[in-house]
Chain A
Amino acid sequence: METRATRIVLVVWVIGVLLFLFVPIATIIVFAFDRETVQAWPIEHYTTHWFSVAWHDQDVRDSLWLSVKAGLAAMFIALILGSLAAFAVHRFRFFGREAVSLLLVLPLALPGIITGIALQSFFSYNSVMLSLTTIIIGHTTFCIVVIYNNVLARLRQTSGSLMEASSDLGAHPLQTFRYVTLPMLSTALIAGALLAFALSFDEVVVTTFTSGAQNTLPLWIFGSIRTGNQLPEVNAVVVFVLAITIIPVAISVRLTGGGGVTRSSVATARD
């Protein structure tokens, strides 16, 4: 449909946006090799010293591991709760349905600092000690939203006739769920889980208010940028993380066929 001119404009635009997205990333990578801790351009001395520092830093390893644990836990709990919520909102008409769907967006729609101080006050009023558990609770709260959105979008897209056909063929609801619904949802779940994990992994605002004597990786970074004694080390750590995550991200994008939403060639019936 698009004219040739339009296509050219689009390609140029895409390249421009990609540059915009990646110039800061490139900056981070380049400055990881800066010998000086006070960063200025141009760089006078290049060194790989900071990569070795980052590699041997026990605090980095501990906080990285904690981030992974928190992210996985939040992701799994959110997968369950988010899917349940999506099913409920999609399938049933119950009292307060509109309110619930509005409610379930709040954790992402409201600024993180509000969620953070609200949760912190809540925990302290109930004398709950801040720990990995409270971090996970905080993260799960917004991860649920991501999963919920993805699953709901997919449920709306797929026709209910498939599930009816399944029960017509003699399967009872639990079987239908296992053999029909779940495979249908799988890519939406994976896409949602990936995004949820990414959000949790990089989350700093809510985590500062809900963490105890632990550091996730963003908290470690937050503490390290204060005196500026280790800025190149922070960059080196980010480079490591990027290098590690490129593969899983690429794999999951391929698995979900580019976004987890398949293009339908028939106009979707809105129910």
Chain B
Amino acid sequence: MTTAPSPGGARISAALWRRPWLRASLTLTPPLAWFFVIYLASLAVLLLTSLWSVDPFTNNLHHQLTFANFREIFTATYLRIIWRTVVLAALVTITDVVLALPFAYFMARVATRRVRAALFVAVLLPLWASYLARVYAWIVILTKGGTLNWAFRHVGLPEPNIGYTHTAMWLVFSYIWLPFMIIPVYTSLERIPDSLIEASSDLGARQFRTLRTVVWPLALPGIVAGSIFTFSLTLGDFITPLLIGGTNSNLIGNVIYDNIGTANNLPFAAALAIVPIVIMTIYLLGARFLGAFEAM
């Protein structure tokens, strides 16, 4: 395995070793350049667009800066929609945490190696079955003549009839994002060393105490990391409310979508888009505080 380093290679390495800032720049510049030039630049343009408006007569963009779009967002119609989206995102997040925790715990600490691998495959596999197809499958399941009602009827229970309701949206969102919660929670539970758990019981703590005081704080970063996904994905999704929602089901995502295209109101759509950006930035700062960035 040992090979004599080439003189040229050695020189470059030495030069890099002596200049840490050069190494930093070289490693950092390409990804940062990508991000700045493409991603941040486009977000900045979006931000700027939200301060413009569209002339209703000529349909051209007015470049005067104005807060008219934001004023309109702060009216009952849109505030209600924003609130509904945030509440739904929170509910979905909580549901996914509850579903994922025991599952991830089992995977990380109880299952044998083989079972763990099988479970991992089982969690990843739905991600390969098109998001659209899975949402469509839920329509078939939840609708009046669908499989859920049929199943309840068969066992003699009253039909739940939750097609095209808020309950349906909550259910479908929780379903779709569940793998994104299980994986980070599993990752952080996985990392807890056995020795820590053993030490805890050596010190006299019983199962529940250990779970509460040792496992939970160490799992928290993974939970917060997963919640970033479930929360933001719900905040911006427009396909699920369109397909699964009934009346009073507008979410931020589909209102944004409605305002692009034929409505041709990109400034207003951009202003609406700022709302999830602000919400997620606050959420991210809170998550960083809770140490989530260690666990993603």
Contacts and interface: CB of A to CB of B under 8 A. Distances in A.
B134 to A, nearest CB: 5
A18 interface: yes
B79 interface: no
Contact of B121 (A39, A238, A253): A253
Interface in A20-47: 20-25, 27-28, 31, 39-42
B70 interface: no
Contacts of B30: 80-81, 84
Contact of B276 (A40, A114, A231): A114
Contacts of A2: 109-110, 207
Contacts of A204: 131-132, 239
B102 A222 contact: no
B46 A117 contact: yes
Most-contacted residue by chain A among B136, B178, B228, B280 (CB, 10 A): B136
B91 interface: no
Given A204-B131, A241-B129, A264 B193 contact: yes
Given A121-B49, A122-B38, A144-B31, A259 B190 contact: yes
Interface residues on A, range: 35 or more
A144 B113 CA distance: 29
Interface in A141-197: 141, 144, 148-149, 152-153, 156-157, 170-175, 179, 194-195
Interface string B132-159: 1110111011010111001000000000
Interface in B197-247: 197-198, 201, 207, 210, 228-229, 232-233, 235-239
A114 B1 contact: no
A227 to B, nearest CB: 14
Contact of B128 (A100, A156, A198, A259): A198
A213 interface: no
Main secondary structure of the interface of A (DSSP, over half): helix
Contacts of B273: 111, 113-114, 117-118
B296 A149 contact: yes
A174 B13 contact: yes
Contact of B5 (A92, A172, A257): A172
A68 interface: no
Contacts of A148: 31
B245 to A, nearest CB: 16
A3 interface: yes
Contact of B187 (A106, A175, A261): A261
B38 A137 contact: yes
B23 interface: yes
B232 A102 contact: no
Interface residues on B, range: 35 or more
Given A25-B126, A173-B17, A241-B128, A122 B28 contact: no
Contact of B195 (A222, A231, A267): A267
Contact of A259 (B147, B186, B238): B186
Contacts of B190: 259, 261, 263
B130 A104 contact: no
A85 B20 CA distance: 15
B117 A242 contact: no
A24 B137 contact: yes
Contacts of A157: 191
Main secondary structure of the interface of B (DSSP, over half): helix
Interface string B40-74: 11110110010000000000000000000000000
A102 B284 contact: yes
Contacts of A24: 126, 134, 137-138, 141, 175
A64 B136 CA distance: 20
A131 to B, nearest CB: 15
A121 B125 contact: no
Contacts of B131: 202, 204, 218
Interface string A78-92: 001110110110011
Contact of B269 (A117, A194, A253): A117
Contacts of A104: 31, 35
B106 A105 contact: no
A270 interface: yes
A1 B197 contact: yes
Interface of A: 1-3, 6-7, 9-11, 13-14, 17-18, 20-25, 27-28, 31, 39-42, 80-82, 84-85, 87-88, 91-92, 94, 98, 100-115, 117-119, 121-122, 125, 137, 140-141, 144, 148-149, 152-153, 156-157, 170-175, 179, 194-195, 198-199, 201-202, 204-205, 217-218, 221-222, 225, 231, 234-235, 238, 241-242, 245-246, 249-250, 253-254, 257-259, 261, 263-268, 270
User: What 3 A-B pairs come out closest when comparing CB atoms?
Assistant: A111-B236, A122-B42, A118-B42
Given A24-B134, A110-B236, A172-B10, 20 more contacts: A1-B201, A1-B207, A13-B106, A18-B119, A22-B126, A24-B137, A27-B147, A40-B146, A41-B145, A84-B27, A94-B24, A109-B280, A110-B280, A113-B257, A199-B127, A222-B132, A225-B132, A259-B183, A261-B190, A263-B190
